[in-house]
Amino acid sequence: MLAPLDLRLLQAFIVLVQTGSFSETSRRLALTQPAVSLQLRRLEEVTGAPLFTKVGRKLVLTDHGEVVLGYARTIMGLQDELRARLAAPKLDGQVILGTPDLYAAYLLPAILSDFRRAYPNVNVELRCALSSKLKSAVEHDEIDLAMVTGMPAFRNGELVAQEELVWVTAETSTVHGENPVPLAMLPPGNIFRDFGLAALERIGRTWRLACVSESIGGLQAAVFAGIAVSVVGRSSILPGMRELGRSDSFPTLPKVDLVLFRAARRTNPAAEAMAEFIVRHFANSPLAPASRVVQTQAGSGSHV
């Protein structure tokens, strides 16, 4: 009979994957480094195989580790969901959540589904718009929460996730080889656009705008039609898209911050429950940030 899993071992494993560092993991869990190492060894003994291998000085998950990580995140997420449900089983009301359509389409479904199970009596109204508009709306108490892309003008937000940006084209398209390369981008001033164009400028690659759209749907249409290359979050890559990299003469792009804002003058227990739910969801996901401090990013104006 297999030994039961200690949830503390799973928690330490998840944090170690997020940080890639025994010292940072020990700091975040308030444990000594030998204690973290012992927890990892115990988890490997329970699960029956090594979870990490080393490439140079970097910790890399083994195939077994990848499997265990998926289950660990699910188990810890269910624990958080159960705690939330037991803490406020009768919570009701309405939450107005604002987020760009990019996140609504690819990140919110799992959050909304789990939140519904935990709080079946809370209604969620979703508003999709550019991040700057949603930041203004939450500042004016027109909505309860805004989960948006971080920018330097945004203050007092809570960093909940970090998404890697990537270049994409249609799976069978050759448009990425054109010079200048045709691009599908969000409107001027957005972080996705700023990072993409700055990266092309750094390597001296010329470009032209073939499509400008406020909506992820417009960018996808241009990509699938084979008329442009675009910048999207890795989580929004769809079948029929191909990621481009250095071998295609496209530079590596940085991560962007997903930041959560809460209305200061709207007293809403349901909104607070959802905010904490969002924080916990991403903490147990591959998008978990290495730190909870909002990073300053280049760019200005309204963006995704």
pLDDT of residue 210: 96
Which CATH number, 3.40.50.2300, 3.40.50.920, 3.40.190.10, 3.30.420.40, labels domain 91-162+257-283?
A: 3.40.190.10
**pLDDT for 28:** 81
Instruction: Tell me what pLDDT residue 294 has.
Output: 40
What lies within 8 Å, CB to CB, of 179 at 6+ separation is: 205, 206
Q: What does the pLDDT look like over 222-275, one tens digit per residue?
A: 999 999 999 999 888 999 999 999 999 999 999 999 999 999 877 889 999 999
Domains 91-162+257-283 and 163-255 share a fold: yes
Are the C-beta atoms of 238 and 109 separated by less than 8 Å?
no
By DSSP bridging, strand 229-233 and strand 181-185 are parallel
pLDDT at 300: 33
- The pTM assigned to this predicted structure is 0.68
pLDDT at 175 over 90: yes
Spatial contact of 134 and 99, defined as CB atoms under 8 Å apart: yes
d(CA 167, CA 232): 7
What does the pLDDT read at residue 2?
Answer: 61
Q: What is the pLDDT of residue 15?
A: 85
Asked if 128 and 99 count as a contact pair (C-beta separation under 8 A), the reply is: yes
Q: How far, in Å, are 10, 19, 107, 112, 224 from residue 15 at the CA level?
A: 9, 6, 21, 24, 37
Look at residue 228 in the predicted model and tell me its pLDDT.
97
Fold classification of 7-85 is Arc Repressor Mutant, subunit A (1.10.10)
Listed by start position, the domains of the chain span 7-85, 91-162+257-283, 163-255
Contact partners, residue 105, CB within 8 Å, separation at least 6? 216, 236
pLDDT for res 128: 92
CATH architecture of 163-255: 3-Layer(aba) Sandwich (3.40)
* Sequence-separated (6 or more) residues with CB below 8 Å from residue 277: 80, 84, 111, 114, 115, 118
